[in-house]
Amino acid sequence: MSDGAVTDGGTGGHVGARAPRREDARLLTGRARYAGNVRLPGTAHAVVVRSPVAHGRLTGCDAKAAWTVEGVLDVITPADAVDVRLPCVTLAAGQRDTSYPVLEETIRYVGQPLAVVVAETPEAAADAAALLDLDLHELPPVVGVERAMEPDAPLLHPDWGSNVLTDSVLGDADCEEAIAGAEHVVELAFRYGRASPYPMEPRALVATFIDGELTIRISTQAPHHVRDHAADALGLTHDRVRVVSGDTGGGFGGKEHIYPDETLVCLAAMRLGGRPVRWTESPGDRLVATLPARAAVHRARLALDADGRFVALHADVVGDLGAHPSNVGISPFAVTAIMLPGPYRFDRAGVRLRGVVTTTTPTGSYRGFGQPEATYTRERLIDEAARRLGLDPVELRLRNLLGPEELPCVTRIWQPYDSGDYPRALRTLRDMVRVFPGGDGRRRGVGFSCHVEATGLGPSQDMKAAGQQVGGYEIAVLRMEPDASVVVASGLAAIGQGIETTLAQLAADRMGVDPGRVRVVLGDTAATPYSPIGSIASRALAVGGGALVQAAARLRDKILTIAAHRLEAAPEDLEITDGAVRVKGDPRASLTLREVATSAWRGWDLPEGASPGLEERAVYDPAAYTYAYGAHAAAVAVDPETGAVEVEGYWAVNDAGVLVNPAIVEGQLSGGIAQGIGMALTEEVVHTADGQPVIDYLLPTTREVPAIELATLVTPSPITPGGMKGVGEAGTIGPPAAIGNAVAAALPEVAGEITVTPLTPERLWRLLTHARTPTG
């Protein structure tokens, strides 16, 4: 269901079309270009040796036995990589450590790299790795942010004097006064389980160092980001490093930077001098090596007046950074803070934000980047307020949602919302929801959630002000060849989001050609323009597409100028349609695009001042973020005897601005919703008291994900050229809150305790059992 899209200056009707994804032909026939499939002559194989303990020191690493294995080529220990460090891209206020070593003797989490072994075969490398003699001195672990903040907790970074990296206040400083004077206050404490990105393709790379140049074939979301950081870490100039990403089988935030183990494989290639070195993350390593996210504790309050109007919202957010601040550091938790108000009207809103280190894998990016947690906290507070006050939760939301006449506006925590109709989304959703029949002994409930999603990262100067050591612009190069075929070059990466198809649609629409005549070049730093941060943060089409729209406008103007000169007409009297430039109202006066392009590239018959060729380059640095939004609803059935939750129905309404390809948007939403269901019900990396991760990690399957019904609204972005807002993360943001609210509606006796993700059967069973006891 959709209310239509806007072409915004296009000519071919390709924007808004449900065009098949051009990527799928190779992805579904086994012709995809995955890094793990790269096979080069003479390739050696690397194995990363990881710490088996959560906290301690590596006091010795004897490699003599490892070198006895036939085929061993190199062993890299901390002494061999003393100065190899990776940067923290986002810095918190007062953050002292702005980078971290790829190898070090201080151990702060299970799975931390301690050495790398390279050999002729994977088997020889594994055998040699098992023979490394590691001398480990264990120290007490620190698991959980509460323990980390206790006065007697061991310090992970003693020079800090604390396990708290940063402590700051955002938004209104006088929230306490507003809450104290309110008629009603709802206070809940929330705990978010550590969730892990789980792409189809694991992290993988092949590195080759020939004639002083390093080529990295890697599964990544951000090729130039990888290039810059690998070059700086390894002491190479940026022009001496080439990164090729090919097809990336999913990233979800987990592949938006280069990791220590990946950097070490590059170092191994440099030490071997000319021989490729290959490494793929093993399934057993993924939960301790790929950065997880979400882990946080919130204590939050919602204050209302006697009429149910929202007066104030405040949260104390404590984020678990893991062993050290990663490349993104505190920023996912900061996004939680700034997006806490969501689509509602508040007199006051504020957050106390702290980042705390623990002896667990460093936390990083994951689809939604702090926004699912903000939505869960806010939306559960709203439903609990409705329950306590005897109000309908949808009506309570409608009473407090910002209306379209109030936009644009700046929220209490500084976010400049641009455009939309938040109440319309919720009303549309309410009309879609249906109730499932009972009679099987299970308890049923329906829950709603609303959110605003920050997309289009981002304005470069705003990113600098926020402590991000990177730009947020994109560059597009658009060329029409002499035969009128079109080439788009962008520094973005294809990560399964359909960007190759949508960029082709944008170019075809504006250049008046068939999409089949558009080639899109991505993922190779030697062939594409610079992209500071690549395909992350719902920005690829909003920012990269915005650059392409600008380049297309310039190229279109040049084509019309050349054609006008040859047709002896004014450019404004011409149109591009069906592969030709025509005088409006006189189709006989026309030139084919091929005639114009050939003339341009030969330098023939050009107007005065026009240069030969048809190629334009545009840089788009957004003036501000864009803000998509949505409303979600879930219907659940809960078995009161076991605590098992089944999501029987799911509905969502989303507005991502202009939809270049509605089918791709719906696919992005459905996939994100499946991940949100996982966060709500099954996915969590659990640690024992001594810091050991529990290996079980339960992804949602087709059994847990019901049929999803979607509706899309279209409010064009007033900022982005082309009107797009971005949709890559939208589906993940609403489901945990909608499902939590649905479970609370089904189980009113424990509704105030539905404050944890995931809601596993054991957790619900314990809550219900406790509620049934006489003292419960």
For 232-300, the DSSP string reads HHHT--GGGEEEE----S--TTTTSS--HHHHHHHHHHHHHTS--EEEE--HHHHHHHS--B--EEEEE
| pLDDT over threshold 60, residue 608 | yes
Band (574; pLDDT cuts 50, 70, 90): very high
**What is the model's pLDDT at position 776?**
55
Band (346; pLDDT cuts 50, 70, 90): very high
Average confidence (pLDDT) over 711-736 = 97
| pLDDT over threshold 70, residue 687 | yes
Band (82; pLDDT cuts 50, 70, 90): very high
For 592-627, the DSSP string reads EHHHHHHHHHHT-SPPTTPPSS-EEEEEE--SS-EE
CB atoms closer than 10 angstroms to residue 631:
31
**What is the model's pLDDT at position 587?**
83
Query: Can you say whether residue 16 is alpha, beta or left, with left for phi > 0 and alpha for psi between -120 and 50 degrees?
Result: left
Give pLDDT tens digits for 359-397. 999 999 999 999 999 999 999 999 999 999 999 999 999
As a whole number of angstroms, the distance between CA 556 and CA 261 comes to 46
Residue 607 Cα distances to 219, 571, 612, angstroms: 46, 12, 10
Give pLDDT tens digits for 117-158. 999 999 999 999 999 999 999 999 999 999 999 999 999 999
Question: In which order are the strands placed within the sheet that holds 113-119?
Answer: 72-76, 113-119, 44-50, 277-280, 204-210, 213-218, 241-244
Give pLDDT tens digits for 66-75. 999 999 999 9
| pLDDT over threshold 90, residue 695 | no
| pLDDT over threshold 80, residue 775 | no
Band (5; pLDDT cuts 50, 70, 90): very low
Q: How far apart are the first and last CA of the chain?
A: 46
Q: What are phi and psi of 469, to 5 degrees?
A: -90, 55
- Beta strands 184-192 and 756-757 are parallel
| pLDDT over threshold 90, residue 8 | no
As given in the structure block, the two tokens for residue 414 are 């500084």
Give pLDDT tens digits for 184-240. 999 999 999 999 999 999 999 999 999 999 999 999 999 999 999 999 999 999 999
Residue % of the chain over a pLDDT of 90:
96
Average confidence (pLDDT) over 399-406 = 98
**Cβ–Cβ < 8 Å for 158, 86:** no
**What is the model's pLDDT at position 4?**
39
Average confidence (pLDDT) over 100-126 = 98
Average confidence (pLDDT) over 535-555 = 98
Give the helix ranges, DSSP H, for 512-661.
545-567, 593-602
- For residue 349, which of 364, 360, 362, 339 has the smallest C-alpha distance? 339
**What is the model's pLDDT at position 549?**
98
Average confidence (pLDDT) over 436-457 = 97
As a whole number of angstroms, the distance between CA 167 and CA 549 comes to 41
- For residue 685, which of 119, 143, 142 has the smallest C-alpha distance? 143
**Cβ–Cβ < 8 Å for 574, 590:** no
As a whole number of angstroms, the distance between CA 215 and CA 467 comes to 30
Sign of the C-alpha dihedral computed for residues 488, 491, 492 and 495 taken in this order: positive
**Cβ–Cβ < 8 Å for 257, 227:** no
Band (522; pLDDT cuts 50, 70, 90): very high
| pLDDT over threshold 90, residue 80 | yes
Band (11; pLDDT cuts 50, 70, 90): low
**What is the model's pLDDT at position 10?**
60
| pLDDT over threshold 50, residue 2 | no
Q: Please name the helix (run of DSSP H) or strand (run of DSSP E) that holds residue 95, with its range, or none.
A: none
Give the helix ranges, DSSP H, for 406-474.
422-432, 460-465
Residue 369 Cα distances to 266, 293, 295, 401, 422, angstroms: 28, 8, 11, 23, 22
Paired with 628 in beta bridges are: 453
As given in the structure block, the two tokens for residue 70 are 């036939």
Average confidence (pLDDT) over 683-700 = 95
SS3 readout for 301-343: EEEECCCCCEEEEEEEEEEEEECCCCCCCCHHHHHHHHCCCCC
Amino acid at 205: L
As a whole number of angstroms, the distance between CA 726 and CA 659 comes to 9
**What is the model's pLDDT at position 12?**
77
Query: What mean pLDDT value characterizes the chain?
Result: 96
| pLDDT over threshold 80, residue 531 | yes
As a whole number of angstroms, the distance between CA 776 and CA 765 comes to 13
Residue 526 Cα distances to 193, 227, 244, 277, angstroms: 40, 10, 8, 20
- Beta strands 416-417 and 474-480 are unpaired
Exposure string of 733-749, with b = 16+ CB inside 10 Å and e = fewer, is bbbbbbbbbbbbbbbee
Give pLDDT tens digits for 285-344. 999 999 999 999 999 999 999 999 999 999 999 999 999 999 999 999 999 999 999 999
**What is the model's pLDDT at position 606?**
97
Residue 192 Cα distances to 384, 453, 736, 775, angstroms: 18, 19, 10, 27
